[in-house]
Structure 1
Amino acid sequence: MYIVYIIQSETSFKYYTGQTNDLADRLYRHNSGFSLSTKSGMPWCLIYQVELSTRSEAMILENKIKKRGAKRYLDNLDILT
C-alpha cells in the first residue's frame, strides 16, 4: 500500500506533496531535517493523505497534484476553507 500525502509548513505555510509506503517514517524525516527539500520549512503538519494500492497509482496522483498545485487540489476537494 502506498500513500500520497500533502504536508504544510507551520513556519512558511508552503505545501509539499509526496508519496511513500511508510508515512510515519517519512514525516519523521521531513521534521528532522533529513529531507533537503523540506528542511527549511520545519516543522511540517500532515493535512491530507490518500492510500493507493500500487506505487504506480501513487506516482500518477502525486504528479497530478504537483502539476495542479497542492493548494488548488485541496481547494477542489473542499478541504481548505
Structure 2
Amino acid sequence: MSKYYFVYLLKDIATETHHYTGFTEDLADRLARHNRGQVPHTAPFAPWRIETSIAFTSEEKARAFEQYLKSGSGRAFAAKHL
C-alpha cells in the first residue's frame, strides 16, 4: 500500500479571507490540530476548512509543490486554479 503526502490549502470559515498552505502525512489530524488552535500561525483565525488537498506518493514532490505554492507565482496559481 502506498503512503501519501498531502499538500493542502485551508481557508478560514468565519471571514473566508485568510488562507494557509501546508504539508502533512495525515490530513484529518492536521486539520483537527489547526482547528484546536495547536498551530500558532493559524490559531487566531480558526476554525478552518480544507479548500484544496493534493495527494502525492513522493514526499520530495509534495514538499517542492508546497514551497512553490508559498511563492509569489504559486500563490497566484492557487488563487486562479485551486
TM-score, normalization by structure 1: 0.85
Instruction: After the TM superposition, list the runs of 4 or more consecutive aligned residues in structure 1 that deviate by more than 4 angstroms.
Output: none
Counterpart for residue 14 of structure 2: 11
State the distance in 2 between where 1:63 and 1:18 align. Answer: 9
Compute the RMSD of aligned alpha carbons.
Answer: 1.7
Deviation sequence 1:45-64 (CA, Å, 0-9, x none): 10001111121111100000
* Secondary structure of 1:64 counterpart: helix
**Structure 1 residue 69, shift from structure 2 partner:** 6.5
Structure 2 residue runs without a partner (length 5+)? none
* Secondary structure of 1:57 counterpart: helix
* Secondary structure of 2:14 counterpart: coil
State whether residues 3 and 52 of structure 1, in contact with CA within 8 Å, keep that contact through their aligned partners in structure 2.
yes
State the distance in 2 between where 1:9 and 1:72 align. Answer: 18
Point out the more displaced range, 46-55 or 10-19: 10-19
State whether residues 15 and 71 of structure 1, in contact with CA within 8 Å, keep that contact through their aligned partners in structure 2.
no
Counterpart for residue 52 of structure 1: 56
* Alignment partner of 1:2 is 2:8: no
Counterpart for residue 67 of structure 2: 63
State the distance in 1 between where 2:73 and 2:49 align. Answer: 17
Identity of aligned residues (%): 29
- How many pairs are equivalent? 78
**Structure 1 residue 71, shift from structure 2 partner:** 5.2
